[in-house]
Every structure is written in structure tokens, then in C-alpha cells.
Amino acid sequence: MRWWIISLIFLATVINYIDRQTIAILSTVIRTDLHLSNELYGLINAWFLLAYTLSQSLSGKLYDRVGTRRGFSLSITVWSVAAMATSLARGMQSLSLFRFLLGVGEAGNWPGAAKVSAEWFPIRERAFALAIFNSGATIGAVLSPPLIVWLNYAYGWHTTFLITGTLGFLWLALWLCFYHAPERHRWLARKEFDYIRAGQRVQEEPARSPVAVRAQLSAPSVETVAKSASPSELDEERVPKWRELLRYREVWAIVLMRFLVDPVWWLFVIWLPEYLQKARGFSLKDVGSFAWLPYLTAGVGSLLGGWASGYLIGRGWSVNRARKTVMLLAALLMPVGILAVRVADPMFALALICVVTFAFQVWINNLQVLPSDFFPGKAVASVAGLGGTGAGASSLIFTLTTGWVVDHFSYTPIFTAAGVFGPLGAIVLFTLAGPIRRVSYSPRTDLAV
């Protein structure tokens, strides 16, 4: 049953990226129709990223409070309405408004998926579960170019947004029919429930965070609780406040790593079709034929990255060693993107971009499982949401910068800057994050300190 559940999240993510990519793929058509420059196009996407940034933390808190069933229902309703409303856009202001609302809804998909993974999967399977979910982003991006180009030629860009926006409501019907938390799911066999819960128990000595070191004098650690209480009982702990979570260096490490590295992905999500057409001479039909390739390799990277760390853990490696080894290799591959703007052959440039997207998905798939590696269930979505806020903040800045730099210079400085972000993220991983293991965490104790 757990694999059916993560398949639903995968499908939601496919729809999320189809709705998100529609404007990027049709950017030249929409910009011509609405008379928008590169800088204004960057500003429109900045409104999306601003909402996405703010909504990541808010959505994480929402999911921890109301649960994944209601949280996902609200998120996909908001973003589907916004996607359909984009068909009504008639200028800069209305298009910015609808993209802002899309960002509010779509942001919830990621902290929600992290929470589903923590609830439904044992520790060794979480990275692969998130790989399946993350591959939805890449499959959505693979499907988007041919699908959206065809819809545009057949019906025009206004109707294209209406059609793609309805997909979320079809998914919502499936979600409400099939999803419940593990302890309430009538189709979940007792054997699988016990397997999930046994695999969620903490098996390593908890890290000693600054707050928890003092707190251990007066309260049991989460490891001690895990020996006497089931994970479902741990889930009954209250949702922590942000100020409590921000006392942990592990949270700051997650936020900073996402702040540094996520702009690499957004560069291609927002600007790849534009880059291929304006800098590499691709036609809109060429974009439909070839722009999906970097997302195909990204999907392979997501699945391989999730499988690799889980495989190493299964072979006896510690969670810390397995995650860091896979993430380091990915970080060292990302700088090849610096060469993409410097080679003459457009297809060779596209191949180098494929390597970057592959490496990024290996990296992010393991990074997104860190909240559940470090923290118990009631904190997972909140921590993931804070990380998403860091990612959104830097991606917002980078998107605005890209529009201005391209208008005044070229894509070369942008690709060069993106090339160094991966290694910088690896430095944070090996310094600020510390060992990847469960922190000594108790929200009630933190309040008393």
C-alpha cells in the first residue's frame, strides 16, 4: 500500500510541473501577445517564486497541523484554480497575480511529500520513496513540451491553461477516495503497518544539538522515547514552533543548502525554453522535440540517487555516510554546466545541461529526506517547509537577476554562477550539517529551557 500512496504523490507532482511549465514553454508566444521583455518575464516568474517562498514554510506548518490528506486537498485546489485562471490573463498585472496564486498552492506539494514519506516508509526506503515522488517533477517536465506545444497549436495558449488546470481536480478525486494516514487506512495490512513502524524506530545515537544537550538533564531523549513508545505515539507530539526549530544547526544547514543549490534547477525550469530559442536558435517545434531531454535525465538522477543511498544503507553503511557520499558525487558533477554556454554545438550544450539536471536531482532527492533523518514526524513538514523557503528566496533573487543580466549581457555569467552552487552546497553539508542522525529533540523540553 505504501507504494500506491507514493504513486499518488508522484502523479500530483507530474500535474504540478505541467501547470508550472506551461508558461515557460509558451513564453515566447505569451510575451509576444502581451508585449513583455525578458526583464518583465523574469518579474512575473519572481511573483510566482515569492509566493512559493512564503508558502513553503506556511504549507509545512499547515500539513503538520491538519495532516497530509487535508493539506494536499487544499494545495492542489488552489494551484489548479490559479492555473485555469491564467487563461484570463490580459497583461502584466493579471498574469503576475495568477502566477502568485499558483505559487501559493504548488509550494505545499514538497513539504507534504516529505511528510508522507516520513509517515509511510521506514528509514532505509525514504530516499527511494522521495525519488519516486521527485521523478514526478521530471516526468511532468518531460511531458510538458510536446503536450503544451501541441495544445497551443490546436487550441491557443488561453485554452491550453484551462485544459492543464483541470488535471488537478481529477487527481483530487483519487486522493480523497484512496488516501488516509497509515493508522486509519482500512486497506493497509497489519503486517505492512508493523514493517513500516519497525523501520521508523531510531537506530543510531541521537546527535547532541545545543538546546538538546541542556535539555537532556531534565527530559528523555527521542531515542529513549523510541524504545518505549511506538512511532505513532511519537506523532502525537505537538507541532513545534519555528523559533524552536531554528535553534538547531541541522535546520539551518538544510535551509542554507537549499538556498545555495536550488537556483540551479529553477534556471532550467524557467529559462531553458527561452535559452534554447533565443541563444541556440531552436524553434518552438524544436523546443517541443528536445527540451524534455534534460528532465528525462533528471528523472533518472532522482531514481538513481534515491536508490543509491538506500542501497548503501542496506549494505550496512550508516545513514550519514550513505547520504553524504551520494550527495558529494552529485555536487561535483553540477559545475559542467559552466561549459554549456561555451560550446559551439547546440546539442552538445543541451547534453551538458542534461548532466546538470541529472546531478541536481541526485542531490535534491537525498537532501529532501534529511528532515525525516534529523527530526520526528510532527516536525518533518515544518523543517521541509523552512528549507523550501530558503530555496525559494534564492531562486527568486536568481530569476530576477537572470532577466536583467540576459537583457544587458548574456547567459554566460548566469551559467557560470550556477556552476559553483553545487560545490558550495557540499561544503555546507560537510561542515554545518554535522552527522546525519536523529537529533535529541523534544518541543516541550525546548520551551522549558
Q: How many beta carbons lie within 10 A of that of residue 430, not counting itself?
A: 14
pLDDT on residue 237:
55
Question: How far is 324 from 144, CA to CA, in rounded Å?
Answer: 32
Question: Domain range for residue 233?
Answer: 2-200+218-448
Q: What is the pLDDT of residue 357?
A: 93
Q: Which residue has the higher pLDDT, 43 or 361?
A: 361
Residue 210 lies in a domain: no
Tell me how far apart the alpha carbons of residues 363 and 262 are, in angstroms, rounded to a whole number: 10
For residues 248 and 210, give the distance between their C-alpha atoms in angstroms, rounded to a whole number: 7
Backbone angles phi, psi at 207, to 5 degrees: -70, 155
CA distance 397 to 211: 33
Report the residue count for the chain.
449
237 in a structural domain: yes
Please give the pLDDT value at position 232: 35
What is the torsion angle, in degrees rounded to the nearest 10, for the CA atoms of residue 328, residue 329, residue 330 and residue 335? 100
Per residue in 411-422, pLDDT (tens digit) is: 899 999 999 999
What is the dihedral sign for C-alpha 186, 187, 192, 197? negative
3-state secondary structure of 410: coil
CATH code: domain of residue 29: 1.20.1250.20
213 within domain boundaries: no
Please report the pLDDT score of residue 429 as a whole number: 92
Find the range with the poorest average confidence among 136-145, 232-241, 281-290, 367-376. 232-241
Q: Of the candidates 244, 256, 213, which has an alpha carbon nearest to the alpha carbon of residue 64?
A: 244
Instruction: Give the pLDDT score at 352.
Output: 94
Residue 123: pLDDT band with limits 50, 70, 90 = confident
Residue 205 counted as domain residue: no
Q: In the predicted model, what is the mean pLDDT of residues 252-271? A: 90
pLDDT of residue 5: 93
Dump the DSSP string for 152-191: HHHH-HHHHHHHHHTHHHHHHHHHHHH---GGG-TTS-HH
User: Helix axis angle, 412-431 relative to 249-278, nearest 10°?
Assistant: 160
Interatomic CA distance for residues 395 and 300, integer angstroms: 23
User: Hey, what amino acid is at 38?
Assistant: N
Distance CA 190, CA 139 (A): 33
The DSSP code for 36 is -
pLDDT score of 103 more than 70: yes
Q: Cα dihedral sign for 281, 263, 129, 67? A: negative
Structural domain count of the chain: 1
Q: What pLDDT, on a 0 to 100 scale, did the predictor assign at position 236?
A: 37
Ranking 171-175, 189-193, 208-212, 315-319 by mean pLDDT, the lowest is 208-212
Model confidence at 214, in pLDDT bands (50, 70, 90)? Answer: very low
pLDDT at position 201: 66
Any idea what DSSP says for residue 439? Answer: B
Per-residue three-class SS string for 96-116 = HHHHHHHHHHHCCHHHHHHHH
Query: Which of 92-101, 361-370, 373-382 shows the lowest per-residue confidence on average (mean pLDDT)?
Result: 373-382
More confident residue, 105 or 291: 105
Cβ pair 332, 274 in contact under 8 A? no
Calpha distance 321→309 (Å, rounded): 9
Mean pLDDT, residues 324-343: 93
Per the domain annotation, does 248 fall within a domain?
yes
Residue 207 lies in a domain: no
pLDDT in tens, 268-323: 877 888 888 888 888 878 877 787 889 889 889 988 988 898 889 888 899 899 99
pLDDT at 235: 38
Task: Give the pLDDT confidence of 28-60 residue by residue, as tens digits.
Answer: 888 888 888 777 887 888 888 889 888 887 888
What local confidence, expressed as pLDDT, does residue 427 receive? Answer: 94
> Average of pLDDT values for 396-416?
86
Q: Which residues contact 288 (CB under 8 A, 6 or more apart)?
A: 25, 145, 146, 148, 149, 150
Nearest Cα to 329, choosing from 259, 426, 263? 426
Task: Tell which wins on pLDDT, 393 or 219.
Answer: 393
Specify the residue for cell string 535551509: 255
Report the candidate in 104, 44, 40 with the shortest Cα–Cα distance to residue 407: 40
Q: Is the dihedral of CA 65, 69, 121, 429 positive or negative?
A: negative
Phi, psi of 4 (to 5 degrees): -65, -40
Give 102 or 381, the one with higher predicted confidence.
102
Q: For position 392, what pLDDT does the model report?
A: 82
- Residue 216 in this model has a pLDDT that exceeds 50: no
pLDDT of residue 81: 95
Dig out the grid coordinates for 158 from the structure: 488561453
Comparing 208 with 176, the larger pLDDT belongs to 176
pLDDT band at 443, cuts 50/70/90?
Answer: low
> How high is the pLDDT of residue 174?
94
CA distance 250 to 285: 45
What rounded mean pLDDT belongs to the chain? 83
Cell of 379: 516536525
Q: Give 442's pLDDT tier (boundaries 50, 70, 90).
A: low
